[in-house]
Amino acid sequence: MRKTLSLSMVVLGFALQAISYFALAAPLGTPTSPAYADPRLPFAPLLFIVGVALVFLAAVVYELMPDKNAK
């Protein structure tokens, strides 16, 4: 259970990072107006940080959840 939960948190965290960086951040290329310097979604950097936090919290979840096979 703890492996599944930790792995799903890591996958979700990396997916959130990739989506917020590539799809929701400011467009790549030469800015032709100040509007191109703003991210497509105003809180895209926050979503990226939440993704990083999820990846790090996956290790905490893995360590703190009890193992069923431990004796």
Q: How far apart are CA 11 and CA 62, in angstroms?
A: 14
Cα–Cα distance between 17 and 25 in angstroms, integer?
11
Spatial distance between the Cα atoms of 67 and 23, rounded to a whole number of angstroms: 38
Share of the chain above pLDDT 90, in %: 51
Going by pLDDT thresholds of 50, 70 and 90, the confidence category of residue 10 is very high
Q: Would you tell me how many other CB atoms lie within 10 Å of the CB of residue 57?
A: 14
Residue 66 pLDDT > 90, yes or no?
Answer: no
Cα dihedral across residues 7, 9, 55, 19: positive or negative? positive
CB contact at 8 A, 60 and 18: no
